[in-house]
């Protein structure tokens, strides 16, 4: 018995030695034609490194019982590793998911004017912090402050990296070691792990939650006011809706209470909307200019949600407070870069000119007539032959705005009819592997594609992707 086991081990070690001996040397791999070609593009040391790494992994795998891979397999993997390294994995996709502001897909697509402005400042130098009149140092904020004040009616404005930064900066600069009163129903998580109470703790402000999850009254705020109170905070419940027996306090009531006690209201608007969403059959999204008109101390919002610009955090409000934020050291750490600043200015100019609906992609999508959506859905469905049908559906705004409010749309549905039940997943995968990838949404066994979240300019690309995907399936 013992002898048999020992013989077994000896035999095993013998095979392993054999396999290790078959493993090619570094020189042998490097002399392969395909690797020689790589050495014409990449530095010799990089190629040798990758070869060494791969052979080391093979050696380890063999000692764990694997067999030796062929020379071809080894060369293949080195070529594909170099390709992956040299090619950005970040690439454009077509968003047919029917969620207009999809955070995982990069939120707002930009207008042509915005991307042109970004390209211009990206490729060269610009007067980012340089006053062309005096030749002295300037401030990057001057390029956007007046525009924002004009659009919102605010006294002053400041741009930072994103809205999470705006909330952090506001609370750090104005409420550190003091108390900020917020409704329990607004101490929320807005997705991606961003929890309002956590940010507040980072700022050093003490969060005083008042009311209950579904009901908060103005006297709840009033009872919580103490000499340590720095502000009243409103957070727009951007991704959920409480239904049934609810009561919340209006911004007017909060501002009036704040005035009575000499306390400012900070309004985290989330999306930050300049246009009236009810004109498109949506629920009303709070507008920035309304908050300012009601007299909040500061309001903050994202640049890349309903504003439709690049990632940014916009803070508007009373000069007294904005000035304090500008002077705070954290403002330097959270500042925006020149490229996104240029894109945001160009986006805001669309509102100034009254051309937002025609120029800003997210607003073009929101305002797209249902007939146009339907026509495009039929075109897409045709490309899929008898696999698809056009059905009624809903487009979501997403990105933490208009919770529960949707737009009527027409969807291309694949796998609705019996007999095609298993098509949704393989087709969705084929579309994801298209160049560019086309992203739909899966509901049950059905793949849904929404033309509303796809710009008309991208129609041909989608049609080609659909034909390719179907052709691939039939093979
Ligand atoms: C989206 C959102 C934020 C965070 O904004 P970012 O620009 O993503 O940092 C903060 N507060 C609310 C209410 C939001 O909806």
Helix (H) or strand (E) holding 27: helix 26-30
Q: Residue 231 CB: number of other CB atoms within 10 A?
A: 23
**Whose CA is closest to atom 6 on ligand 1?**
163
Looking at residue 125, its pLDDT comes to: 96
Beta strand 437-439 with 93-95 is parallel
Atom of ligand 1 nearest to the CA of 313: 7
Residues of the chain with pLDDT under 50: none
Cα 388 from Cα 459, distance rounded (Å): 17
List the alpha helices (DSSP H) in 334-434.
Answer: 338-352, 356-359, 361-366, 370-383, 424-432
Q: Which long-range contacts (CB under 8 A, 24 or more apart) does 216-221 make?
A: 216/183, 216/184, 216/185, 216/247, 216/248, 216/249, 217/247, 217/249, 218/249, 218/253, 218/254, 218/257, 220/183, 220/249, 221/181, 221/183, 221/249, 221/254, 221/257
Cα–Cα distance for residue pair 156/145, rounded to 1 Å: 7
Cα(107) to centroid(ligand 1), Å: 12
Atom 14, ligand 1: residue with shortest CA distance? 270
The rounded Å distance from CA 271 to ligand 1 centre is 7
* Ligand 1: centre distance to CA 90 (Å): 23
Its CATH architecture, for the domain 93-100+365-474, is Alpha-Beta Complex (3.90)
Residue of 164, 193, 399 best suited for mutating to test ligand 1, as the one with most atoms within 8 Å of CB: 164
Q: How far apart are CA 349 and CA 148, in angstroms?
A: 10
Where along the chain do the CATH 3.40.640.10 domains lie?
112-359
Q: How far is the CA of 314 from the centre of ligand 1 (A)?
A: 11
Pocket test for ligand 1, best of 168, 186, 270 (most atoms within 8 A of CB): 270
| Residue 270 Cα to ligand 1 middle (Å) | 5
For the domain spanning 112-359, the CATH number is: 3.40.640.10
The torsion region of residue 234 among left (phi > 0), alpha (psi -120 to 50) and beta comes to beta
Q: 147: alpha, beta or left, given left = phi > 0 and alpha = psi -120 to 50?
A: alpha
Q: Could you tell me the distance, in angstroms and rounded to a whole number, from the CA of residue 164 to the centre of ligand 1?
A: 6
Q: Give the 3-state secondary structure of residue 97.
A: coil
**Triad 224, 229, 235: Cα angle to 5°:** 80
Indicate the pTM of the whole model: 0.90
Q: Which atom of ligand 1 is nearest to the CA of 237?
A: 13
- Residues having CB within 6 Å of any atom of ligand 1: 162-164, 167, 190, 194, 235-236, 238, 268, 270, 302, 313, 400
Ranges for all domains in the chain classified under CATH 3.90.1150.180? 93-100+365-474
Distance CA 349, CA 440 (A): 32
């Amino acid at each position: 018995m013992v002898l048999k086991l020992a013989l077994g081990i000896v035999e095993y070690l013998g095979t392993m030695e054999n396999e290790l001996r078959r493993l090619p040397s570094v020189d042998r791999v490097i002399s392969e034609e395909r690797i020689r070609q790589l050495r014409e593009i990449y530095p010799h040391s990089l190629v040798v490194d990758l070869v060494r790494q791969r052979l080391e992994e093979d050696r380890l795998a063999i000692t764990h019982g694997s067999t030796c891979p062929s020379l071809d397999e080894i060369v293949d993997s080195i070529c594909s590793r170099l390709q992956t390294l040299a090619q950005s994995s970040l690439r454009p996709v077509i968003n047919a998911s029917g969620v207009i502001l999809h955070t995982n897909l990069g939120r707002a697509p930009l207008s042509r004017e915005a991307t042109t402005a970004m390209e211009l400042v990206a490729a060269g130098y610009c007067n980012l912090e340089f006053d062309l009149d005096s030749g002295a140092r300037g401030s990057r904020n001057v390029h956007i402050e007046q525009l924002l004040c004009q659009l919102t009616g605010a006294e002053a404005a400041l741009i930072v990296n994103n809205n999470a930064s705006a909330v952090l900066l506001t609370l750090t600069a104005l409420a550190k070691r003091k108390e900020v009163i917020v409704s329990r129903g607004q101490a929320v998580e807005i997705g991606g792990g961003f929890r309002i109470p956590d940010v507040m703790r980072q700022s050093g402000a003490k969060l005083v939650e008042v009311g209950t999850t579904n009901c908060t009254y103005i006297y709840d705020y009033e009872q919580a006011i103490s000499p340590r109170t720095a502000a009243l905070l409103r957070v727009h419940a951007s991704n959920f809706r409480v239904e049934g027996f609810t009561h919340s306090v209006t911004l007017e009531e909060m501002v009036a209470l704040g005035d009575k006690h000499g306390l400012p209201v900070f309004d985290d608007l989330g999306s930050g909307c300049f246009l009236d969403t009810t004109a498109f059959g949506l629920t009303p999204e709070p507008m920035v200019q309304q908050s300012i008109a009601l007299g909040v101390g500061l309001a903050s919002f994202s640049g890349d949600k309903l504003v439709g610009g690049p990632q940014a955090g916009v803070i508007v409000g009373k000069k007294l407070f904005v000035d304090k934020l500008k002077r705070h050291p954290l403002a330097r750490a959270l500042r925006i870069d020149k490229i996104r600043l240029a894109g945001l200015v160009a986006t805001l100019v669309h509102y100034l000119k009254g051309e937002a609906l025609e120029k800003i992609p997210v607003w073009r999508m929101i305002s797209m007539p249902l007939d146009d959506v339907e026509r495009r859905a039929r075109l897409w469905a045709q490309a899929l032959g008898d696999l698809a049908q056009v059905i009624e559906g809903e487009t979501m705004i997403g990105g933490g705005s208009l919770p529960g409010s949707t737009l009527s749309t027409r969807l291309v549905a694949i796998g609705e009819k019996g007999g095609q039940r298993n098509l949704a997943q393989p087709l969705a995968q084929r579309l994801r592997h298209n160049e560019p990838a086309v992203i739909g949404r899966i509901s049950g066994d059905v793949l849904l594609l929404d033309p509303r979240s796809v710009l008309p300019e991208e129609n041909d690309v989608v049609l080609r992707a659909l034909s390719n995907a179907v052709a691939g399936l039939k093979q």
